[in-house]
Structure 1
Amino acid sequence: MPTKVEGDLNTKTKTILRQFKLHLDEGYSKDPLPVQVDLIRAIADYLKAMNSHVKGKIMNDNHDSYNQQDFRYCLTVPAMWSERAKNSMRQAALLAELINDFDHPDRLLLVTEPEAAALYCQLKCTQFDLGHKDRFMVCDAGGGTVDLIVYEVEKTNEGTFLSEVTKGHGASCGSIFLDQNFKRLVQEKFSSQGVTLEPKPLNKIVENFVEHVKPIFESDSDHALDLPVGAYLSQVRDPEAIEILDGSMLFSRKELESRVFDPVIEQVYSLIDQQLSSARDCTAIILVGGFGASNHLLARVRRQFEGLGIKIVRAPRPELAVVRGAVYAALKPKIVTTRVSRQCYGIRINMRFREGIDGPLDRKEFSHGSYCHNRFKCLVQKGQKVQTDECISTTIMCRKGTSNDVLLPIYAFSGDGETPDFIHSKGMYRLADIRVKSAFSPSDPLDTKLEYQFKMFIGRNEIKSVVLLKGEEYAASIDFDSEQADNKNK
């Protein structure tokens, strides 16, 4: 998604929103948006405008031979995003009318950006031949985030497939942070001359850096940037001290490398190190994404890691790897057969009360004994390999009550170490509620019982669920925004 959108906020002026998709990442410390605006609405407005443009182009080129319902959509998301953030993208797509509530869930696919890039690389990278059981890392260095994941190639009679070796992870350290570092450098230079730059000239200088320096920077030459004309230039006490000459400002390769590029590239090093420590025998690292197209990033990663016997290459047209990979994912969504669980998932259960172990507040008395009603039952461990079509099933018995919904709360544990025994343990939180309409009839007595079988698919890019009752399948929704669900979904 491009990093800016224009929105009419019912005023006489318009406000440009930049990099607003990053605000869905709960772990990213960011400045507030410049105006009060609903984030999901802003994303939906962008998607709606983009969809209208693309649909119009397709219809014009194909003489209106397509129906809106013929389209399948595939949206890419960072690997580090939480289930809640991914669900917010789905809600934005609904709000943008790309899909509706009655569509099959697979009419809109969400795929992580490094996974989309991996599909592209597996088809388009000819620099080396990946054989059965070979492993490769995709480093998707984009504008806002850098996402990484390691895949293993599986060659079978049915074709070539990919299996996750490590759980994808990343950080907000994409190329826009180069822009921020450069902006601070410029402000410091002018501040040393007693000049506080106004936003307009400052933003123009940063734009010149983005267009003329960032794409071609290599650590063997200095760079001069044209400065916008303005009164601020006459306020500089000693232009030569900050290397201003004839309306241009010189930036040395040393300061650009140390002040602008190094802080970001060192974060990329750290992310690659973490992946390599989790995945042995990695054959290659493939750089993709807009930042992945940087010659400087490629040279630095090679300098850092080629000594380990790993081949570092850049995918052809790296800036298009994710979007083209998303098309491949939509055409053949089952190329990835196994994924690694990002965290531990489970449910709350009642178990026999253990004196001296279970807390007194967790005790609940029943006619047939004392039970601890806040015990955690793990369904999928963090780091566990899960087949994409693997069904994890649990059954709950419900009595007829006053609610119109049957709920199965899903809990997640994001920490490391042993899985806790209780749902209120540190690091445990209520991720979401799986909801299905109650099947009790008005004539059923209050003590009527029904057995619901909840079937969950956690190995996909989004958690999916269906419910079986008396052999029939019922549609289930996953609510990340219920009053009970923890607002710190991860």
Structure 2
Amino acid sequence: MYKINDYRVVVGIDFGTTYSGFAYAHKGNPNDITVHIDWQEYTGRFKTPTVLSYDAEYQNVQSWGFPALAKRPKRRKESERKPVELFKLHLGKMADKPSLPGGFDYRKAITDYFRELGKVIKKSIAEKWDINFFTQTLIVLTIPAEFDDKAMTIIRECVYNAELLKDRYSRNLKFTTEPEAAAVHCMRSLIEYNLPIGASFMVVDCGGGTVDLTTRQLLEGERLSEITVRSGDYCGGSYVDKEFLKFLEHRVGASAIKLVRDNHYGQLQFMVQEFCRMVKMKFTGNQSEFETVELELDEMCPILKQYCKGDYLRHNEDVEWSIKLRFNDVKAMFDPIIDKILRLIHKQLHTNYNCSALILVGGFSESKYLQSRIKKEFSSKIKIISIPPQPVTSIIKGAVQYGLREEIVFSRVLKWTYGTDITRKWRQGDPLNRRRSDNNIIVFEKLAERGKQIGVDEKITRKFKPFDRQQTKMALDLFVTTQENAKFCDEPTTKALATYSVELPPNGDRSISYELTFGAVEIEVNACNPILGKFAPQRFELEL
């Protein structure tokens, strides 16, 4: 049996909505972090697209990353297979999840992507060090702040099926949130800004799909304490692309765009790529720096002519399928997304008025327009607004740094209220419909409250006694809720995180000491009876 402390190399993986990447370092030289930049024939890129291309039956991966992106369409008619992308969004709780071709299972896509990415990771590690990958490598995988334990369980299963873990519950895979990883990486640069010990700073991670925020406090010994509940939403850079497609719908018709998406997705994807290359990545929000862009739709998406009808067809024939993107058109694509990000920052600031610095990281943070809007909105409220060099690598490097020195995170703020179900006597004012025939009622008993700052490895201990003298077992189910004061375990916002029971001795002290330990990435539940001793602990992923 190997121990987690046996690992020699840490690999940080940023599995993104639109782009993914990894970095690694050896414990013997922790300051030498290598970010992988050799993606097939594409070198010098920090990340590769989170895209897969399959065979006709969508069983076997034909290509992934950059080669899976759509190429410039040919004018002759040819068969197309829709690439599989944006599958990470299916792990979240968003209502309008992107459709995958033919009812494709997003878990297969995640597994296949990790398998292809894993081949590159294993090869890169093997070329540098002679180690056992499964026992001497620690993988730190970053996730959005919005993901729950179910999402982490699915990811762990996919990583295992992709042959990156020796066993399904391997301790060689750990999770941290994307903004937490970025905070770890940015901590030293904040010290260079002369940010004093005790000062707080906010990390705003703007990715392709999600934007995540967390507020941290700088502690002695280069450690971090979380001081507000993490927050986030689906308003990353890919949503600007969606606004571009809405713009096209007004020019060629919504039905035409839908038919292209359904039948010739590669051409639609190529149009979006060209928009990003020609417009999105260059847009600064300064009108004097903007030049109107002409999009030749018949070259970018020749199949559009087949689907464009009525007045849309006549107009586009009149303008020879050339569409102009003016300053206000592009600004209108960015503004709804950026406005949402600004609201998220305001909400975080509302819980911490003394924020001294704001760090902007993630791929979308490279947008000059986003940067200027944030500086304009918050420069009078926050002393330091910083965009680190290569912000797209902050999360990957931070994941490696976290794995090398987990104690860097001193405390977190609980995202959920934790509790268990207990039986007590029904009281006046309790709901009549919950009153049992024996005049008892089952209620939610709070153990730890949402928004509370809790140290890594801090323990919460409670003692429970069986309600009935005839009981031979005691249920010790663990529930989580977004409410601070839940009353019952079957409320809509409450869900079971762990369900199990423990044996009770027939005589003597039949009490149970119930202990929750909030580790860096796991919660451990222990139960102990003075006569029978400790029962087997239950472990599960901490909802970061």
TM-score under structure 2 normalisation?
A: 0.75
Question: Which of 190, 203, 226 in structure 2 is aligned with 1:164?
Answer: 226
Cα distance in 1 for partners of 2:246, 2:494 equals 38
Residue 357, structure 1, aligned to residue 434, structure 2: no
Change in Cα spacing, 1:10 to 1:407, as seen in structure 2 (3 Å) is farther
Cα distance in 2 for partners of 1:455, 1:81 equals 25
Residue 382, structure 1, aligned to residue 442, structure 2: no
Question: Which of 93, 117, 127 in structure 2 is aligned with 1:50?
Answer: 117
Residue 139, structure 1, aligned to residue 207, structure 2: no
Contact 2:355 2:382 in 1 (8 A): no
Change in Cα spacing, 1:315 to 1:248, as seen in structure 2 (3 Å) is farther
Cα distance in 2 for partners of 1:136, 1:166 equals 11
Partner of 1:485: none
Partner of 1:463: 523
* One-letter amino acid of the structure 1 residue matched with residue 248 of structure 2: V
Partner of 2:33: none
Residue 152, structure 1, aligned to residue 210, structure 2: no
Contact 2:149 2:541 in 1 (8 A): no
Deviation at 1:128, TM superposition (A): 2.0
Deviates more, 1:187-196 or 1:199-208: 187-196
Cα distance in 1 for partners of 2:58, 2:384 equals 53
Change in Cα spacing, 1:449 to 1:101, as seen in structure 2 (3 Å) is farther
Partner of 1:5: 52
* One-letter amino acid of the structure 2 residue matched with residue 385 of structure 1: Q
Change in Cα spacing, 1:284 to 1:224, as seen in structure 2 (3 Å) is farther
Partner of 1:254: 328
Change in Cα spacing, 1:422 to 1:124, as seen in structure 2 (3 Å) is same
Partner of 1:24: 91
Deviation at 1:388, TM superposition (A): 1.6
Contact 1:364 1:371 in 2 (8 A): yes
Cα distance in 1 for partners of 2:150, 2:464 equals 24
Residue 86, structure 1, aligned to residue 159, structure 2: no
Change in Cα spacing, 1:15 to 1:394, as seen in structure 2 (3 Å) is farther
Secondary structure of the residue that 2:89 maps to in structure 1? helix
Deviates more, 1:29-38 or 1:308-317: 29-38
Residue 432, structure 1, aligned to residue 497, structure 2: yes
Partner of 1:96: 162
Question: Which of 471, 476, 482 in structure 2 is aligned with 1:414?
Answer: 482
Change in Cα spacing, 1:232 to 1:386, as seen in structure 2 (3 Å) is closer
Change in Cα spacing, 1:452 to 1:15, as seen in structure 2 (3 Å) is farther
Secondary structure of the residue that 1:357 maps to in structure 2? coil
Secondary structure of the residue that 1:76 maps to in structure 2? strand
Contact 1:125 1:316 in 2 (8 A): no
Deviates more, 1:387-396 or 1:48-57: 387-396
Contact 1:187 1:197 in 2 (8 A): no
Partner of 1:284: 357
Change in Cα spacing, 1:462 to 1:17, as seen in structure 2 (3 Å) is farther
CA offset digits 1:319-362 (Å, max 9, x no partner): 11111111111111121111111121100112233245353533
Contact 1:338 1:459 in 2 (8 A): no
* One-letter amino acid of the structure 2 residue matched with residue 281 of structure 1: N
Q: Which consecutive unaligned segments of at least 5 residues does structure 1 have?
A: 481-488
* One-letter amino acid of the structure 2 residue matched with residue 295 of structure 1: K
Cα distance in 1 for partners of 2:416, 2:400 equals 28
User: Cα RMSD over matched residues?
Assistant: 3.6
Change in Cα spacing, 1:17 to 1:467, as seen in structure 2 (3 Å) is farther
Change in Cα spacing, 1:362 to 1:226, as seen in structure 2 (3 Å) is same
Change in Cα spacing, 1:286 to 1:92, as seen in structure 2 (3 Å) is same
Contact 2:359 2:385 in 1 (8 A): yes
1:337-352 aligned within 5 A = 337-352=410-425
* One-letter amino acid of the structure 2 residue matched with residue 204 of structure 1: F
CA offset digits 1:204-245 (Å, max 9, x no partner): 22110122221121122133345452364697434598xx57
Contact 2:298 2:305 in 1 (8 A): no
Deviation at 1:39, TM superposition (A): 3.0
Change in Cα spacing, 1:283 to 1:303, as seen in structure 2 (3 Å) is same
Contact 1:86 1:462 in 2 (8 A): no
Deviation at 1:130, TM superposition (A): 1.8
Contact 1:434 1:477 in 2 (8 A): no
Cα distance in 2 for partners of 1:323, 1:58 equals 16
Partner of 2:182: 117
Cα distance in 1 for partners of 2:479, 2:244 equals 42
Change in Cα spacing, 1:290 to 1:228, as seen in structure 2 (3 Å) is farther
Residue 74, structure 1, aligned to residue 117, structure 2: no
Deviates more, 1:119-128 or 1:41-50: 119-128
Secondary structure of the residue that 2:350 maps to in structure 1? helix
Contact 1:74 1:327 in 2 (8 A): yes
Partner of 1:217: 283
Aligned residues: 459
Change in Cα spacing, 1:397 to 1:87, as seen in structure 2 (3 Å) is farther
Secondary structure of the residue that 1:53 maps to in structure 2? helix
TM-score under structure 1 normalisation?
A: 0.82
Secondary structure of the residue that 2:102 maps to in structure 1? coil
CA offset digits 1:133-183 (Å, max 9, x no partner): 11111000000000011111112xxx1111111111100010010011101
* One-letter amino acid of the structure 1 residue matched with residue 517 of structure 2: F
Secondary structure of the residue that 1:266 maps to in structure 2? helix
Cα distance in 2 for partners of 1:94, 1:193 equals 41
Contact 1:124 1:316 in 2 (8 A): no
Q: Which consecutive unaligned segments of at least 5 residues does structure 2 have?
A: 1-14, 20-49, 61-79
Change in Cα spacing, 1:210 to 1:194, as seen in structure 2 (3 Å) is closer
Contact 1:390 1:459 in 2 (8 A): yes
